[in-house]
């Protein structure tokens, strides 16, 4: 167990603080609120700010948004290609950084993804629940069962990541101009070239005048090709967990 001698604690959202697309529990919210009293807490996700507004923020105590502690909370949607910080006076989240995804390159990526889906070579079903491809402005996300598929189905589709590894190998050749990483249970995230979660986290550290050694990162997709793995490759100290229940135990030990 890594001792909590860090100034910044970063968490992945889906699969780490919460089950895929589900809200964090009340217990998890209270643990995060305790951390905010002493540390800067960063939440990074492949999802958009909308996902934070449905999955994370509503579970926090309303008093949290009246306290100066809220300044210790940083949100990094779309793998850190966007950054939001809370304005206590305006009572809203303010976009403070963004990495744009060129539209022509995004359209090329969408075309390649659609061809992959139509090829029937990757065990992608014909009846998605929600859209296969979601344009998150600074990131594209392809979910093989559809963006709104139930978590129970998602967990069964590709538990060892082999299907998505096969897809990623092809996409890497077809789209060398972008960066791709496996995330969640059925997802591949696509970002501008050389941008990943590590880039989002290190940009934040540069902004606040801290170093890699000041941060610890907790995530579930810490494996080669996983969208949390880049943080470890960048030299950030990492804690690999298997799900939200394990994350709770990690935080409890740190608080204790």
User: What are the DSSP calls for 39-60, one per residue?
Assistant: SEEEEE-SS-HHHHHHHTGGGS
Instruction: Look at the domain 103-192 and name its fold.
Output: 3.30.1240
- Please calculate the CA angle 51-54-55 and round it to the nearest 5 degrees: 75
Q: Within a 10 A sphere around the Cβ of 85, how many other Cβ atoms? A: 16
- Residues of each domain in the chain carrying CATH 3.40.50.1000: 8-99+196-255
Question: Could you give phi then psi for residue 31, rounded to 5 degrees?
Answer: -65, -40
Helix (H, G, I), strand (E, B) or coil at 226: strand
Our separate counts of H helices and E strands in the chain read 8, 11
What is the rounded (10 degree) CA torsion for 54, 55, 61, 67? Answer: -80
Order across the sheet with 237-240: list the strands: 92-98, 82-87, 73-76, 40-44, 8-12, 215-219, 237-240
Q: Residues of CATH 3.30.1240.20 domain(s) within the chain?
A: 103-192
Q: Measuring CA to CA, how many Å separate 228 from each of 51, 58, 236?
A: 18, 24, 11
Which residues of the chain, if any, have pLDDT below 50?
none
**pLDDT attached to residue 164:** 95
In this structure, are residues 8 and 210 in contact, taking their beta carbons and an 8 Å threshold? yes
Q: Taking Cα atoms as reference points, which of 233, 102, 125, 230 lies closest to residue 175?
A: 102
DSSP-assigned beta bridge partners for residue 9? 41, 216
Global pTM exceeds 0.85: yes
DSSP 66-105: GSGGGGGEEEE-GGGTEEEEEETTTTEEEEEEE----HHH
CA 196/CA 162 separation, integer angstroms: 21
**What are the pLDDT digits (tens) for 129-147?**
999 999 999 999 999 999 9
Structure confidence at residue 90 (pLDDT): 95
Q: What does the pLDDT read at residue 3? A: 59
- Structure tokens belonging to residue 75: 């949100």
Domain 8-99+196-255 belongs to what topology? Answer: Rossmann fold (3.40.50)
């Amino acid at each position: 167990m890594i001792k909590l001698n860090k100034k910044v604690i970063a968490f992945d959202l889906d699969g780490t603080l919460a089950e895929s697309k589900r809200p964090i529990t009340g217990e998890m919210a209270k643990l995060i609120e305790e951390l905010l009293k002493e540390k800067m807490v960063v939440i990074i996700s492949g999802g958009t700010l909308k996902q934070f507004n449905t999955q994370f923020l509503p579970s926090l105590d309303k008093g949290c948004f009246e306290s100066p502690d809220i300044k210790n909370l940083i949100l990094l949607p779309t793998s850190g290609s966007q950054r939001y910080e809370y304005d206590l006076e305006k009572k809203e989240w303010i976009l403070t950084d963004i990495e744009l995804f060129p539209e022509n390159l995004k359209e090329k990526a969408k075309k390649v993804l659609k061809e992959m889906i139509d090829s029937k070579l990757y065990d992608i079903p014909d009846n998605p629940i929600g859209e296969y491809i979601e344009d998150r402005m600074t990131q594209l996300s392809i979910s093989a069962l559809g963006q709104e598929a139930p978590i129970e189905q998602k967990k069964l589709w590709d538990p060892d990541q082999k299907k998505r590894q096969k897809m990623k190998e092809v996409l890497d050749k077809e789209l060398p101009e972008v960066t791709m990483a496996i995330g969640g249970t059925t997802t591949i995230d696509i970002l501008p070239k050389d941008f990943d979660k590590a880039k989002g986290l290190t940009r934040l550290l540069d902004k606040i005048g801290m170093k890699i050694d000041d941060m610890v990162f907790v995530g579930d997709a810490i494996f080669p090709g996983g969208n949390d793995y880049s943080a470890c490759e960048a030299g950030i100290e990492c804690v690999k967990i298997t799900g939200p229940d394990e994350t709770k135990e990690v935080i409890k030990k740190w608080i204790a």
